[in-house]
């Protein structure tokens, strides 16, 4: 039998969620009259915390003896009283090349309290179903990742294993239709129970992105609560956990969620507190700042972790159910001028793709720290206002989280009485320990932070501090200050998600820069990133949201509903073009990249015998 596999329809990484190590939490909803003043007021200690250690040099270095050591810098105590630390596993990482490949067996079952398998999908019969049957299931010589994932509990009986449904690629339309009536909701609930019973998962993570958005209906806000209520009622007799991954974007929260009502039925509310800034802003900005910058005004003040956590509490979510989401990746940018490399610096597009994630605009922490081991190092700046680092190298810029900043965020969650922390995602931590700080250094630092233990960056990885908030640059040979425009107009992305937004709907290019030691001149070449290709914007017009066949067997389009703000030429949709991984073709029936022999007319696409369109 021919084997099919998924490429995760459009090479995107999407989502997050959570659950409790002990099983579940009391489902009673905390009244909004409960005293939440400790969260609403800022912690002066946190604001004053110095999260960096500054080295004697202005360029970051890694000691080779440290890098080659097998002794972890951070160790985990089995005796600490743990809050939930929930780890998403993006299962498409099994298809990544080299040291980026991450199998179920790479998961340390003792580092996380809960692990979440991302994702399952929703079929048009309103039932949950596997998205990658060859990888997920044991049938037909499949890899049985479901069984291996759940089998991690044999090593750690306290571990909770959750299946997530949804994600950005799944969209909202199907979920809106499913949640619309009691009959369709019950069909879905029964299918979920059947899957959990059959494969041994401990619960479900709902990642509907997002109710009443992206083609959904206004009634979704109410229907989503009804869906959660039905799931909760069915789960209780079996002891299953029910969690949800939710937006941290202010443009989504009000329209999508009845927060107080949701809180009654969920064991945990996983707030995706990242993707606050990206190439869609057309200037540099941090992926996940803990606090706002001093120069930010208006709606910009809402684009940070602190605001999102306060918002969910103020709207009625029980604090102990709120899980603070932390990204193990950074958002990258290509600078218009390599010398203008602070915040708000103009850009020409997203940053170059990494060797493992292979997505323009994103670098996993493992990719970043491995690059830092080489000769062409990033210059790292620790921003004392936002409490997170950014870095630049040639014309590349990244806003990311490091060991100290994730530890501080975890301590923030602990001090504010939140339920715990969540990461998206485990496979982009330094899971092999190649960078000299032991395996899973970010997860280890988060775990310690949840127990109020301070972890600082190793001295080699801290370089300088920034107290300014607009394009102040520090280089190894000189300091240059530039004054970019201070316009306070906010460009709001369509959602806070894991979707990688190409810079243009018509053309996406990856930029690679090389700089020689003897010259300050920078040479730049461009090439198409692996997941996208250039296209003629007149060749295909989006009329509805979804995925559609491309101009040849190896390509496909995705139309994303973005509303009036982002639509081009009056359209409410944005068009992206993607290519399947080498050796595979797009199957319109399943919306997957599969073997050529499985798609009629594309059997000989790669051997030169056919160039048939799908």
Predicted confidence band of residue 283 (pLDDT cuts 50, 70, 90): very high
pLDDT at residue 542, rounded to an integer = 85
**Average of pLDDT values for 58-87?**
48
pLDDT in tens, 415-457: 999 999 999 999 999 999 999 999 999 999 999 999 999 999 9
In this structure, the strands spanning 114-122 and 160-166 are: parallel
Q: Give the span between the Cα atoms of 367 and 99, in whole angstroms.
A: 10
Q: Give the span between the Cα atoms of 5 and 551, in whole angstroms.
A: 22
% of the chain residues with pLDDT over 70: 70
Q: Which residue has the higher pLDDT, 591 or 78?
A: 591
Q: Give the span between the Cα atoms of 608 and 596, in whole angstroms.
A: 12
Torsion (CA) 304, 308, 314, 319 in degrees, nearest 10: -120
Please give the domain boundaries of the chain with CATH numbers for all domains: 13-474 (3.20.20.80), 533-614 (2.170.140)
Catalytic site residue from 16, 82, 170, 209: 209
% of the chain residues with pLDDT over 90: 60
pLDDT at residue 504, rounded to an integer = 30
**Average of pLDDT values for 469-477?**
40
pLDDT at residue 611, rounded to an integer = 35
pLDDT at residue 560, rounded to an integer = 66
pLDDT in tens, 141-177: 999 999 999 999 999 999 999 999 999 889 999 999 9
- How far apart are the two ends of the chain, measured CA to CA in Å? 23
Q: Which residue has the higher pLDDT, 410 or 469?
A: 410
Q: What interhelical angle do 182-199 and 220-235 show, nearest 10?
A: 40
**Average of pLDDT values for 362-390?**
96
Is it the case that residue 529 has pLDDT exceeding 70?
no
Q: What are residue 503's phi and psi, to 5 degrees?
A: -65, -40
CA atoms within 13 A on the CB side of 5: 19
In this structure, the strands spanning 522-527 and 510-515 are: antiparallel
pLDDT at residue 494, rounded to an integer = 33
Is it the case that residue 109 has pLDDT exceeding 70?
yes
pLDDT at residue 561, rounded to an integer = 63
65-86: buried (b, 16+ CB within 10 Å) or exposed (e) per residue?
A: eebeeeeebbebeeeeebbbbb
Told to judge if 222 belongs to the known catalytic residues of this protein, a careful annotator would answer no
pLDDT at residue 462, rounded to an integer = 45
């Amino acid at each position: 039998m021919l084997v099919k596999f998924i490429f995760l329809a459009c090479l995107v990484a999407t989502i997050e969620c959570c659950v409790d190590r002990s099983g579940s939490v009391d489902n009673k909803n905390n009244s909004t009259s409960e005293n939440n003043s400790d969260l609403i007021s800022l912690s002066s200690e946190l604001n004053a915390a110095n999260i960096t250690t500054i080295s004697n040099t202005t360029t970051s270095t890694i000691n080779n003896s440290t890098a080659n050591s097998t002794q972890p810098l951070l160790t985990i105590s089995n005796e600490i009283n743990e809050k939930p630390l929930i780890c998403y596993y993006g299962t498409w990482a099994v298809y990544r090349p080299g040291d980026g490949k991450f199998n179920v067996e790479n998961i340390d079952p003792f580092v996380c309290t809960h692990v979440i398998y991302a994702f399952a999908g929703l079929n048009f019969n309103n039932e949950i179903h596997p998205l990658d049957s060859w990888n997920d299931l044991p049938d037909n010589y499949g890899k049985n990742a479901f069984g291996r994932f759940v089998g991690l509990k044999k090593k750690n009986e306290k571990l909770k294993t959750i299946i997530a449904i949804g994600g950005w690629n799944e969209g909202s339309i199907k979920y809106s239709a499913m949640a619309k009536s009691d009959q369709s909701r019950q069909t879905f609930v029964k299918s979920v129970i059947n899957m959990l019973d059959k494969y041994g998962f401990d619960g479900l993570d709902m990642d509907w992105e997002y109710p009443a958005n992206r083609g959904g209906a206004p009634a979704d806000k109410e229907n989503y609560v009804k869906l959660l209520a039905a799931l909760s009622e069915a789960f209780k007799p079996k002891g299953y956990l029910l969690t949800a991954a939710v937006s941290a974007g202010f443009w989504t929260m009000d329209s999508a969620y009845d927060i107080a009502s949701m809180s009654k039925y969920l064991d945990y509310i996983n707030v995706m507190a990242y993707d606050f800034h990206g190439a869609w802003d057309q200037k540099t900005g941090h992926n996940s700042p803990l606090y706002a910058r001093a120069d930010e005004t208006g709606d910009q003040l809402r684009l940070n972790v602190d605001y999102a956590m306060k918002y969910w509490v103020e709207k009625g979510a029980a604090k102990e159910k709120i899980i603070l989401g932390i990204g193990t990746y950074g958002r990258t940018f290509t600078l218009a001028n390599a010398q203008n490399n602070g915040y708000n610096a103009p850009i020409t597009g997203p940053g170059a793709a990494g060797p493992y994630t292979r997505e323009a605009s994103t670098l996993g922490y493992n990719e970043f720290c491995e690059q830092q081991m080489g000769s062409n190092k990033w210059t790292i700046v620790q921003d004392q206002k936002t409490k997170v680092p950014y870095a630049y190298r040639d014309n590349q810029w990244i806003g990311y989280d490091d060991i100290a900043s994730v530890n501080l965020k975890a301590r923030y969650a602990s001090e504010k009485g939140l339920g715990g922390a969540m990461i998206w995602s485990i496979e982009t931590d330094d899971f092999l320990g190649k960078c000299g700080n032991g395996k899973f250094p970010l997860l280890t630092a988060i775990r310690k932070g949840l127990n109020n233990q301070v972890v600082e960056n190793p001295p080699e990885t801290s370089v300088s501090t920034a107290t300014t908030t607009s394009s102040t640059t520090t280089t190894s040979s000189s300091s240059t200050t530039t004054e970019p425009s201070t316009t306070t107009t906010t460009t709001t992305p369509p959602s806070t998600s894991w979707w990688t937004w190409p810079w243009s709907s018509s053309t996406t290019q990856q930029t690679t820069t090389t700089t020689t030691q003897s010259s300050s001149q920078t040479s730049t070449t461009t090439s198409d990133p692996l997941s996208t290709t250039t296209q003629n914007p007149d060749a295909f017009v989006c009329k509805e949201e979804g995925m559609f066949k491309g101009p040849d067997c190896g390509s496909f389009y995705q139309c994303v509903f973005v509303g009036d703000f982002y639509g081009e030429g009056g359209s409410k949709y944005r068009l992206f073009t993607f290519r399947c991984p080498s050796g595979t073709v797009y199957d319109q029936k399943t919306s997957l990249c599969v073997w050529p022999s499985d798609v009629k007319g594309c059997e000989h696409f790669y051997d030169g015998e056919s160039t048939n369109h799908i």
